[in-house]
Amino acid sequence: MKACVFVPGVVAVVMGLYLTAIVPELWVSSDLPIAVGWIALSGGCIVSRGLRARVAAGTLPRDAAIRRFTPFVAFFPLVIALASVVGLAISDEMGVSRGHMTGLQPMVFGGDGFILAVMVFAAHVLLMPRTRS
């Protein structure tokens, strides 16, 4: 459980500091999706570990555990993209002027989130214990 919170947390803090340093006036629109992504990634990690433990204990078939985790691939990028939209709306309310490409930010966060979600799903499947015969 500690790894589920620590690893995504370190990535989120490093990326958040990097983005804040590059574009300090857009910290809300860039850091909000990262924070939400950290929470969603931590939740996905905890769910994945629970499913793998149930497979190892023999209470859940491997295929069922993989199917139950499959929605994460769509859920994770959608949540990050929506957090980016909210972050941009908050930035607008704060009176921060946006560049002409800022509107693409939710698609970039969502696209990158999809790539990360696929990698997490692949790791989930590879780490899944084989069903005992």
H helix count then E strand count, the chain: 5, 0
Question: pLDDT (tens digit, 9 = 90+) per residue, 92-122?
Answer: 888 877 777 878 889 999 999 999 999 989 9
Question: pLDDT (tens digit, 9 = 90+) per residue, 49-76?
Answer: 999 999 999 899 999 999 999 999 999 9
Who wins on pLDDT, 89 or 31?
89
Q: 79 falls in which pLDDT band (50, 70, 90)? A: very high
Domain membership flag for residue 109: yes
Domain membership flag for residue 133: no
Domain membership flag for residue 132: no
Residue 32: closest CA among 98, 104, 105, 99: 105
- Rounded Cα distance between 37 and 29, Å, is 13
Domains: count for the chain: 1
> Domain of 95?
2-127
